Amino acid sequence: MMSQDGLKFRAAAAAIEYLDDQRIIGVGTGSTVNHFIDLLGDFKSRLDGAVSSSEASTERLKKIGIPVIDLNSAGSIDLYVDGADEINPSLQLIKGGGGALTREKIVAAASRQFVCIADESKLVDVLGSFPLPVEVIPMSRSFVARELVRLGGQPEWRKDFVTDNGNDILDLHNLSIVDPPNMEKQINSIAGVVTVGLFASRPADVVLVGTACGLQKLT
């Protein structure tokens, strides 16, 4: 029986096949992406560099000798590879378990193709069992929390955690997200919210799922 980490590796290895003639790629954050970064080492001569979605991924990329390029200098990106915390059948995602949701959303938005890599435990019918991360400006935290309660969720402050952008995270429990694009818009419109970790208006284009029986590709 393959471990969950083995299934993550299986998904990450499949994403390597999406490398083509891109000189710059976008790289997400998390344990699944860490496998992808490690595998990228063998292909670094084909790349000018990567746009990174977090300080953690930046450090890992640099360690294996892949230059990290500022998005402002990169222009539009052909390929973005990132993980997810939950994935529904429309390839809409909850992301931000690692707290990198805002930069991840920016790089995903700037990329032509978003390839999501995950183990099979991330597949769900309806998003919301995984607490939905919301990055907020610190002074707005209590106000935003009250507004999120009005939307029907139960926000919990991720204490002792500061995002790479210097902000706080509220994790929103007890939601059943039946209309992800609408929920994304509603949460993003609350003053003080930087980003919600719901990737619905820009879902993944392809999801590569590591399963016990092999690789599953969802499009």
- Which of these segments, 55-63, 76-84, 163-171, 178-186, binds ligand 5RP (CB under 6 A)? 76-84
Q: Which two tokens stand for residue 8?
A: 């993550």
Q: DSSP string spanning 89-148? A: TT--EE--TTS-HHHHHHHHHTEEEEEEEEEGGGB-SSBTSSPEEEEE-GGGHHHHHHHH
If the CB atoms of residues 85 and 168 are measured against ligand 5RP, the closer one turns out to be 85
Which is catalytic among the residues 17, 59, 104, 120? 104
For residue 43, give the H/E element and its range.
none
- Which of these segments, 39-47, 56-64, 97-105, 205-213, binds ligand 5RP (CB under 6 A)? 97-105
Is the CB of residue 11 less than 8 Å from the CB of residue 215? yes
95 forms part of the interface with ligand 5RP (CB under 6 A): yes
Distance of closest approach, residue 49 Cβ to ligand 5RP, in angstroms: 21
Is the CB of residue 82 less than 8 Å from the CB of residue 16? no
Distance of closest approach, residue 85 Cβ to ligand 5RP, in angstroms: 5
* Diameter over CA atoms, the chain: 51
100 forms part of the interface with ligand 5RP (CB under 6 A): yes
If the CB atoms of residues 97 and 180 are measured against ligand 5RP, the closer one turns out to be 97
Instruction: Select from 6, 13, 66 the least CA-distant residue to 36.
Output: 13
How many residues touch ligand 5RP under the rule CB under 6 A: the total is 17
Is the CB of residue 99 less than 8 Å from the CB of residue 47? no
Cα 35 to Cα 13: distance, rounded to the nearest angstrom? 8
Candidate residues 96, 128, 180, 203; the one interacting with ligand 5RP per rule CB under 6 A: 96
If the CB atoms of residues 120 and 143 are measured against ligand 5RP, the closer one turns out to be 120
- Identify the burial level of 70 via C-beta atoms within 10 angstroms of its C-beta, where 0-12 means exposed, 13-18 middle and 19 or more buried: exposed
Site string for ligand 5RP, 16-55 (x = CB under 6 A): ------------xxxxx-----------------------
Distance of closest approach, residue 21 Cβ to ligand 5RP, in angstroms: 26
For residue 27, give the H/E element and its range.
strand 24-27
83 forms part of the interface with ligand 5RP (CB under 6 A): yes
120 is catalytic: no
85 forms part of the interface with ligand 5RP (CB under 6 A): yes
Q: Which of the residues are catalytic?
A: 104
Summarize as ranges the residues that interact with ligand 5RP (CB under 6 A).
Answer: 28-32, 82-85, 95-101, 104
